[in-house]
Amino acid sequence: MKILVTGTAGFIGSHLAEALLKDGHEVVGVDSVNDYYDVGLKHARLRQHGIRIEDAGPGVVLESSTNPAYRFMKADLADHDEIVEFMVREGFDYVVNLAAQAGVRYSLEKPREYTHSNVDGFLSILEGCRHSRVKHLVYASTSSVYGLNKNMPFREDRPVDHPMALYAATKKANELMAHAYSHLFGIPTSGLRFFTVYGPWGRPDMALFLFTDAILRGEAIKVFNHGRMLRDFTYVGDIVESIRRLVVKPVGADPAWDPSNPVSASSSAPFRIFNIGNSAPVPLMEYIGAIEDALGIEAKKVFMDMQPGDVPETHADTSALEAYVNFRPATSIRDGVGRFVDWYRSYYGRG
């Protein structure tokens, strides 16, 4: 199949492109390669797939030097006409939208970046799907949409009307926009609520990267909420395996959906929401312990108050995902953190 994957210079998108290519699909990647974090890391991810970002230009679709089934275009999804025309011209079978302005804390500083990328950009994708008759749109949402909800584990059919940061609000907007297009135009859409993704090639603004880097430098790590946090950490390989199975299995209308008693996880339209998490929350201090063990170094710690927009606990109910694709994320923290540390040492040549 011919699959568009947005965000392929990013963490999850790079891993997903590799997996889909191994499956024998034709993959076209799109990414703006912005400077939210180290662009050198993004360039390196692209080089892994034979893409030289130096050759990118407006409207230029680059061919991989290592895999003829992979091509890449540098573009901003919010450039509406360019994206829609590109999608219509290419005629994709499936679309996976992972491109977004990520990060809860950054949304406090640069709110307009989030509406630009996550709302305007997503509208371009929806319009491109509408006009090119895409068989299935899979898009990244986030566990952050659960916001102030403390009813654990988080289930997709429960209300998510109280976000704690603009980032979460834009992702909730994506879910609502997708439902509108599923209802109006019959586009099958699946929203994926990711729970704290980590692993090799991970983002430098995430805790695992920050902690590993600081420990190896002999610097203290910042432990928020004085370590009293639980996170449903999910290994990137499990995220990718879930998407691989979902993307080629378009969702349909839920025959049991009742408009008199509506739930938000499905619909009379071809629309679904899935949690993707490990379903096994880990205390933050245990997570730090796994990093210390993998590095063989005890971390210096500075205990701090909770940051605005953060939540003390996340816990995914993934029964809907398991029932639909017969897969349950289960990589242990010890294994996943160990693989990240191995990659980090190799990539940066440190310790």
**Residues with active-site annotation:** 167
Q: Which helix (H) or strand (E) holds 189?
A: strand 189-194
Evaluate whether 278 touches 329 at the Cβ level (below 8 Å): yes
DSSP E strands, 49-196: 61-63, 70-74, 94-97, 136-142, 189-194
Evaluate whether 273 touches 156 at the Cβ level (below 8 Å): yes
DSSP E strands, 294-339: 301-303
How many angstroms separate the CA atoms of 101 and 46, rounded?
18
DSSP characters for 241-292?
HHHHHHHTS-----TT--TTS--SS--SSSEEEEEES-S--EEHHHHHHHHH
Closest CA to 185 of 117, 222, 245, 137: 137
Structure token digits, residue 350: 């440190």
Using CA atoms, how far residue 161 sits from 93, 195, 316, in Å, is 33, 18, 17
Interior CA angle at 79 toward 76 and 83, to 5°?
85
